[in-house]
């Protein structure tokens, strides 16, 4: 294990950095507990002459916790359910998935 991977493991197990969540497969209904780092950046979308600011929910998940997320899978964080939209993206080191979510 690289030093970088060990540091990420510590970040994802730290109670102040990551949150427990539940992943539910859209195809098999398999469930798996995971830990996520939740982000909510604003996105600006141009449409004609207008610009729209929209709220988003993005989470980072360790590949070791969730090897194959797919669009349509459900992530439950606390009492909130979210659906993965778009394609999951991995970081350069192939250790972290970035998942774009929408409310379920």
> CA distances (Å), 75 to each of 24, 31, 86, in order?
6, 10, 14
Instruction: Provide the pLDDT for residue 51.
Output: 84
Instruction: Provide the pLDDT for residue 82.
Output: 96
Instruction: Provide the pLDDT for residue 1.
Output: 64
> Residue 3: is it exposed, middle or buried by C-beta count within 10 angstroms (0-12/13-18/19+)?
exposed
Give, for all 104 residues of the chain, the pLDDT tens digit.
688 888 988 999 998 999 999 999 999 989 999 999 999 877 787 888 888 877 789 999 999 999 999 999 999 999 999 999 999 999 999 999 999 999 98
């Amino acid at each position: 294990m690289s030093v970088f991977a060990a540091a990420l493991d510590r970040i994802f197990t730290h109670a102040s950095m990551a949150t427990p969540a539940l992943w539910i497969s859209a195809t098999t209904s398999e469930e798996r507990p995971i830990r996520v780092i939740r982000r909510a950046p604003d996105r600006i979308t141009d449409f004609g002459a207008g610009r729209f600011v929209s709220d988003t929910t993005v989470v980072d998940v360790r590949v070791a916790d969730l090897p194959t997320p797919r669009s349509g899978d459900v992530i439950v964080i606390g009492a909130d359910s979210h659906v993965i939209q778009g394609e999951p993206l991995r970081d350069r080191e192939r250790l972290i998935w970035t998942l774009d979510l929408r409310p379920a």
